[in-house]
Amino acid sequence: MKKILIVTMIGVFMISCKNSESEKTSLNLKYPTTKKVDTVTNYFGTEVKDPYRWLEDDRSKETADWVSAQNEVTFNYLTKIPYREELKNRLEKLWNHEKIGSPFKEGEYTYFYKNNGLQNQHVLYRFKGNEEPEVFLDPNTFSEDGTTSLGGLSFSKDGNTIAYAISEGGSDWRKIIIMDAVSKEINEDTLLDVKFSGLSWKGNEGIYYSSYEKPKGSELSAKTDQHRLFYHKLGTSQKEDIIIFGDKQKRRYVGGGVTEDGKYLIISASVSTSGNELYIKDLSNPNSAIIPIITNFDYDTSVIDNDEDTLLLLTNLDAPNKRVVKVNAKNPTPENWIDIISETNNVLNVTTASKSIFANYMVDAVSQVQQYDYNGTLIREIKLPGIGTVGGFNGKSTDELIYYSFTNYTTPGSIYSFKPANGESKLYVKPAIDFNSDNFESTQVFYTSKDGTKIPMIISYKKGTELNGKNPTILYGYGGFNISLTPSFSIANAVWMEQGGIYAVPNLRGGGEYGKAWHDAGTKQQKQNVFDDFIAAAEYLIENNYTSSGYLAIRGGSNGGLLVGATMTQRPSLMKVALPAVGVMDMLRYHTFTAGAGWAYDYGTSEDSKEMFEYLKGYSPVHNVKEGVEYPATMVTTGDHDDRVVPAHSFKFAAELQAKQSGSNATLIRIETNAGHGAGTPVSKTIEQYADIFGFTLYNMGYKELPSKTNVKG
């Protein structure tokens, strides 16, 4: 995220002494006047006003001036919080430790990522044999302010050439740079305008990548609807790149990857974020056709590896919690599939390395891992360092040593080495962080939602915390897109808990913690289940004296921002503070921006039917802010260059709140300029943002000093 520019407010957005219905004073706050326009859309006979639609124009001077005006008010407020710098200093101190990633081998070199502590971006190092590591790629040199990040990379088969993507200002639009990995010299023109793309090599000859045509309107907000897979041959111009898939078939998301042995190209295509078609092409035969494996969007299926002509696939077809099957590549359709790891009661995800399948089962949101051979024979159950989340267990078929990570809410992430041949596991890297995990604890509870469904929640806090209803608490949720919230350590949350704060994470419906049925139970006209689950989590924390409404903050980002927006408009007195980040707030128009139409599996759209329109309007945060209601203290956060969930969502929601808030609670919007959805955010800006979020939260709970220093509130 880029540096905030605080400028003088001008034009129609000036803070005026004149009377205005959208100008309110609270805690000495005077909000900028936000003009209204007479924009009305008719949905199935119902006219819906959209007075702030002009804020959707991210290229207009008016919108830029509004952003500057809002930021001036917000940052003037935040600078008055007495312990803002104290929080920032503690975050910096805790953040300032060396972070090292798992090593991986490409060609003659071994590579690994490292951050010395407060570097804005992780640096990619490499070494050969017993040589000292050298810097290979340093994203901190890509831009002066650290906002250009490394967005993925891939090495050629021999490891001598690398293709890497960069993201500027957090944008989903990327540039691909191709470089000689030995000499570190860039050897051809940069590939431009690449979006939502993996990078996969065809031997040493060229790469497959995916993108859309650049939209005619704003590249930050205009709809992108037809994704295509390209092949770029080294030494040729991007204009000569061949369209492999997606030219005649209109798909919103298309990806292509080459199997490790280089024999097959696997193509996945989808129209939404759930369900995909799957195709295969034999690269050993230049004239081979693209053969379908799955030709509908009803299920999620991927090729995880191959053994000669035998494909291994992970699928939820006839297995909502997923299974692993094998099939001959010449006859790859489902009627020929043979189970090798059958479905269980727990959700399955898999990785491969050393010709082994590592089955990572999610059991009430925590990891259990088993190792299988390619025939589905169990080799061993892997003993993990504790109860938490593991990642990794992946590598090449020839790797004799692989790595995995372990973490939970109170344990900083450590890396372990693992020998697939004998199951030997050793600690490889443990972070030297100024945080004593022994002083903190996590407990998992199961509470009952509105319709009787049992929902798990993990609550983390300092040992000895008195359950007296007066603990500052952040309730964090997501609940969508089959995404699972599993225990992981966060430096920011560690600082929150050091202050005596409680951090609670429920596993809401809409997520993937219990498979496809759990996901589907929080989609379309069952979306209210997600909000009910979140509300019930808050009620559980209050009823069991972890906290009370005066000490409760709710937080979430993206789909989680929608969760916060819907919850605070449905139950405004339930919490003291609301922290919606980069949220989907206008449910009637979300599908008209960038790739938003691809979210329809989870949401449905206002164009689907009258019933779907009415359901969406019933919870859409922008459309449910009401006059005369006292809403919690709110700080909306977004980036003005977010091209995934466009900032207009947050702009319009903040404008509605400022116009209609009846109480004295602060209603602010914090807008990072030249920043996107969050990927590649510089460490320095992340620290500043958390200091502001925690400072705003505690200040509005009434704390004059940090809770770790005093129990006295203002």
C-alpha distances in Å from residue 473, one per residue of 468, 494, 541, 563, 694: 12, 13, 9, 17, 11
Catalytic residue among 122, 232, 649, 677: 677
Euclidean distance between CA atoms 157 and 261, whole angstroms:
9
Cα dihedral 39/42/43/47 (nearest 10): 80
Euclidean distance between CA atoms 683 and 666, whole angstroms:
27
Catalytic residue among 558, 606, 650, 684: 558
Euclidean distance between CA atoms 37 and 55, whole angstroms:
10
Following DSSP, what letter does each residue of 295-328 receive, concatenated? Answer: -SSSS-EEEEEEETTEEEEEE-TT-TT-EEEEEE
DSSP letter, residue 574: S
Vertex 549: Cα angle to 543 and 555 (nearest 5) = 105
Following DSSP, what letter does each residue of 248-275 receive, concatenated? Answer: SS--SEEEEEE-TTS-EEEEEEESSSS-
Euclidean distance between CA atoms 652 and 658, whole angstroms:
10
Q: Which residues is 209 bridged to in the sheet?
A: 230
Distance from the first to the final alpha carbon of the chain: 33
Euclidean distance between CA atoms 208 and 189, whole angstroms:
16
Euclidean distance between CA atoms 267 and 227, whole angstroms:
12
Q: Tokens 């510089």 appear where?
A: 682
484 is catalytic: no
677 is catalytic: yes
| CB 506 within 8 Å of CB 455 | yes
- Which residues are CB-contacts of 688 (< 8 A; sequence separation ≥ 6)? 88
Residue 43 tokens read as 């949905």
Euclidean distance between CA atoms 186 and 171, whole angstroms:
23
What are the φ/ψ torsions at residue 57 (nearest 5 degrees)? -80, 95
Active site residues: 558, 677
